[in-house]
């Protein structure tokens, strides 16, 4: 058991795939094979659950005060939402807590089938293997009971797939009204998906303060015709988890 746990901790802490792919200018935290390691999943569930929940809860709150289209979708009595690269469905659990009175249909779509038991334990439907590098818009809808979605959450996935093909997929989902709102959470302040989506006539709104420097870690994306800006209050007056995601000097 010690060797098993120790190996899992090393994979989690040392991130061998991250070092391997950094030399090729790729940002890969863990590979699909590493996610298949039961010990790594145990570490991930223990250490990432609070982070992913709190970041997504704040993201939804910021979206709801920044744009009326997002606010109305999140205030609806019935919401269909999928998480692309959703794994154990922490983001969908955050949505459930943010919208406690809504009837929810929730779907976690992921490359790694081993996340199924965790997503289903949280009351979500699960589809895998779901490879964003290969799927089309219709494949995504088909995986969600073949009906359009209100919201698609994209959390910590674009580090693996920021390219023209992914931008085409996301833009196609919005333009064909298969998804009404994209909710995006990422690790780094600079996000290459932003110009790619804007080139495809998708409106991208950063939700974090831009006062110190551009910060695209939390975004919503929607059709320009759906954009309905609001004047958000001061974060200190409404945000549930202060300084999440972390920003120095705040």
Give per-residue pLDDT as tens, 182-225: 999 998 999 999 999 999 999 999 999 998 899 999 999 999 99
Tokens of 102: 């809504």
Identify whether the C-beta of residue 63 lies closer than 8 Å to the C-beta of residue 98. no
Name the average pLDDT for the chain: 87
Mean pLDDT of 46-50: 82
Position with higher pLDDT, 221 vs 37: 221
Q: Of 33 and 250, which is predicted with more confidence?
A: 33
Which neighbouring-strand residues pair with 84? 109, 154
pLDDT of the residue at 153: 98
pLDDT recorded at residue 11: 43
- Please compute the mean of the pLDDT values over residues 167-186 and round it to a whole number: 98
pLDDT at residue 22, as a whole number = 45
Interstrand relation of 218-222 and 179-185 (parallel, antiparallel or unpaired): antiparallel
Cα→Cα distances 198→82, 164, 167, 171, Å: 22, 12, 9, 9
Instruction: Report the Cα–Cα distance between both ends of the chain, in Å, rounded.
Output: 42
pLDDT given for residue 248 in this prediction: 64
Q: Quote the CA–CA distance of 36 and 115 in Å, as a whole number.
A: 9
pLDDT of residue 49: 83
pLDDT at position 31 over 60: no
Q: Is the pLDDT of residue 42 over 90?
A: no
Rounded Cα distance between 132 and 85, Å, is 8
Q: What is the pLDDT of residue 140?
A: 98
User: How far from 141 is each of 94, 103, 107, 209, CA to CA, in Å?
Assistant: 22, 19, 10, 33
Q: How do residues 134-170 score in pLDDT, each as one tens digit? A: 999 999 999 999 999 999 999 999 988 999 999 999 9
**Quick one: pLDDT at residue 17?**
44
């Amino acid at each position: 058991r010690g060797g098993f746990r120790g190996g899992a901790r090393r994979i989690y802490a040392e991130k061998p795939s991250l070092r391997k792919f950094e030399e090729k200018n790729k940002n890969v935290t863990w590979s699909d094979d590493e996610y298949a390691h039961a010990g790594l999943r145990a570490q991930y569930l223990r250490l990432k659950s609070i982070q992913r929940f709190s970041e997504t809860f704040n993201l939804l709150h910021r979206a709801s005060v920044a744009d009326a289209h997002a606010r109305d979708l999140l205030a609806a009595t019935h919401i269909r939402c999928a998480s692309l690269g959703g794994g154990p469905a922490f983001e969908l659990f955050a949505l459930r807590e943010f919208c406690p009175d809504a009837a929810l249909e929730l779907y976690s779509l992921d490359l790694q089938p081993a996340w199924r038991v965790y997503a289903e334990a949280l009351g979500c439907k699960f589809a895998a293997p779901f490879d964003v590098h290969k799927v089309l818009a219709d494949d995504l809808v088909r995986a969600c009971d073949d009906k359009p979605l209100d919201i698609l959450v994209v959390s910590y996935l674009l580090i693996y797939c920021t390219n023209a093909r992914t931008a085409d997929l996301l833009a196609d989902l919005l333009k064909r009204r298969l998804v009404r709102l994209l909710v995006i959470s990422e690790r780094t302040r600079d996000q290459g998906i932003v110009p790619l989506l804007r080139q495809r006539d998708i409106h991208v709104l950063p939700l974090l303060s831009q006062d110190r420097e551009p910060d695209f870690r939390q975004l919503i994306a929607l059709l320009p015709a759906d954009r309905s800006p609001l004047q958000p209050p001061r974060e200190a007056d409404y945000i549930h988890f202060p300084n999440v995601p972390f920003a120095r000097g705040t």
